[in-house]
Structure 1
Amino acid sequence: MLLAEDLLLLLLDDEKGTTPGLWVAVRVPLGAAVLAELAIDDAVELEPRESRWRTPKIRVTGATEQDDVLAAALQVVAQKPRTAVDLVGRVGDGLKDRLAERLAGQGLLERHDGTVLGLFPRTTWPAAASTHEAQVREGLRAVVVDGAAPDERTAALAGILQALDRLRPVLGLSGAEARAAKKRVAELTKGDLATKAVRDAVEAAIVAVTTATTAATSVAVIS
């Protein structure tokens, strides 16, 4: 299972098959999850920061990917070095339905084709089985709430969910528990879980989601 597939399962409403509560297009966090996985696989890296005024760009390392989704994303990154903010939307374009089809093929989602207002076609992806999603939630809770030893994938997943402000509802957190979880995630994404190159690239992907979410929220408030 890809990190982006786990993320999509957590973002989808199990009954409605939609992604409620997001201020930003779902392609952004899905693209960030793919970038994070490429970094964890050492397939991409963040350029060294040469100036405080210049945002470092992500570039390929020369490694290859066997998974078709990751391989396609790697081709996008290989076109030319771009910032994570620029890449997440490009990498995530069309990814929701592509990943959902794969998950449906594994019996985890169902495809429902319908219309909105009887006019506009819409596809939703309600849950068909919840076992894997429940395992992902348990793994997240163990690390974020119970203090279990983390791994790179769980830290990246928690960071993206936190950037989307979806960690609390996904894990059912509130009050002091939610505040402690937020602090824990900040420590995880900047901790010594991997090489500096991987940490930097994963953090860049998370920052890209935060930037897009903040911008979308600001536009909504002004409107």
Structure 2
Amino acid sequence: MGITLAEEIMLLSLDDESGAAKQREATGWAVAGGILLELVLAGRVSVTGKYLDTTDATPTGQPLLDTRLRLIETWTRGRNRRRVTDWLTKDHTKAVGAALESLRDRGVVLETHHKVLGVFPTRRHPEADGSVERALRDRLDAVVLAGADPDERTAGLIALIHSAKLGRLVFPDAPRKETAARMAEIADGQWAAENVRNAIRDMRAAITAATAASIAAVS
């Protein structure tokens, strides 16, 4: 397997030069959702309505996914009603760091260390290999801006981006209304197998609910 959905979302959020993450909170929800959707596509996790369950604990061979698969398996063990929103809330901040580490280990980004105000340590992740993001953006542009039909994974990626309201981050120069409409069309479309479409639909609902709860908590 190549770069995962979660890593793709993370990569899109990074400033190419400084390596700082943009819209980090929203990105976290989408990254956590991307890991779940990747596990659904791999047949390891099921998302049905509001609920999440492990269907196969066999490792995928992807460290980013397998770490989360083990955590989800432990979290759901002995319980048959675990909410997707509860997992996203639990994991969305940690998923960002995990996705960044995975991109670093792949050699897609570097890791640099800085101090804010000369005191507080922080890490940045500027690009090491810009070809990965260029290919990703070309793929998204072809589907969202040029009207090409998406494959299953691209449709899922666009649905997650749309749900987390990251459209302006991915398509900064495109007409906002038209871009949002096309992303919604893809998210609601018949591009994937029924079980994957249902998982995408339920994941979108969970991300929307989780982000709304997060906003309400700090307002």
TM-score (norm 2): 0.84
Q: Match of 2:114, as an amino acid? A: G
Counterpart-to-counterpart distance in 2, 1:31 and 1:113: 24
Post-superposition CA distance 1:10-42 (Å, at most 9, x none): 0111122122234x2643221111011111222
8 Å Cα contact 2:64/2:102 also seen in 1:
no
* 1:2 CA displacement: 1.0
8 Å Cα contact 1:76/1:91 also seen in 2:
no
RMSD of aligned residue pairs (Cα, Å): 2.3
Q: Report the equivalent of 1:4.
A: 6
CA 1:216–1:145 in structure 2 vs 1: closer, same or farther (change >3 Å)?
same
Q: Report the equivalent of 2:33.
A: 32
CA 1:167–1:26 in structure 2 vs 1: closer, same or farther (change >3 Å)?
closer
Counterpart-to-counterpart distance in 2, 1:166 and 1:25: 7
Q: Report the equivalent of 1:205.
A: 203
Counterpart-to-counterpart distance in 2, 1:125 and 1:208: 29
Q: Report the equivalent of 1:71.
A: 66
Q: Secondary structure at the match of 1:113?
A: strand
CA 1:147–1:203 in structure 2 vs 1: closer, same or farther (change >3 Å)?
same
Q: Report the equivalent of 1:147.
A: 147
Q: Report the equivalent of 2:108.
A: 108
Q: Secondary structure at the match of 2:82?
A: coil
Which stretch shows the higher mean deviation, 183-192 or 28-37?
A: 183-192
* 1:3 CA displacement: 0.9
8 Å Cα contact 1:35/1:88 also seen in 2:
no
Q: Report the equivalent of 2:45.
A: 44
Q: Report the equivalent of 1:14.
A: 16
Counterpart-to-counterpart distance in 2, 1:3 and 1:77: 18
Q: Match of 2:53, as an amino acid? A: R
Counterpart-to-counterpart distance in 1, 2:168 and 2:36: 23
* 1:157 CA displacement: 1.5
Post-superposition CA distance 1:74-103 (Å, at most 9, x none): 223323242221112334453333332332
8 Å Cα contact 2:108/2:128 also seen in 1:
yes
8 Å Cα contact 2:103/2:109 also seen in 1:
yes
- Structure 1: where are the runs of 5+ without partners? 50-55
Counterpart-to-counterpart distance in 1, 2:150 and 2:27: 25
Counterpart-to-counterpart distance in 2, 1:171 and 1:27: 19
8 Å Cα contact 2:27/2:164 also seen in 1:
no
Alignment of 1:71-150 (within 5 A): 71-78=66-73, 79-80=75-76, 81-150=81-150
Q: Secondary structure at the match of 1:94?
A: helix
Q: Match of 1:155, as an amino acid? A: A
CA 1:185–1:94 in structure 2 vs 1: closer, same or farther (change >3 Å)?
same
Q: Match of 1:139, as an amino acid? A: R
Counterpart-to-counterpart distance in 1, 2:162 and 2:187: 11
Counterpart-to-counterpart distance in 1, 2:65 and 2:83: 18
Q: Report the equivalent of 2:167.
A: 167
Q: Secondary structure at the match of 2:201?
A: helix
Counterpart-to-counterpart distance in 1, 2:206 and 2:113: 31
* Total equivalences in the alignment: 211
8 Å Cα contact 2:163/2:207 also seen in 1:
yes
Post-superposition CA distance 1:173-202 (Å, at most 9, x none): 443xx3222222222222222232222222
TM-score (norm 1): 0.83
* 1:63 CA displacement: 5.8
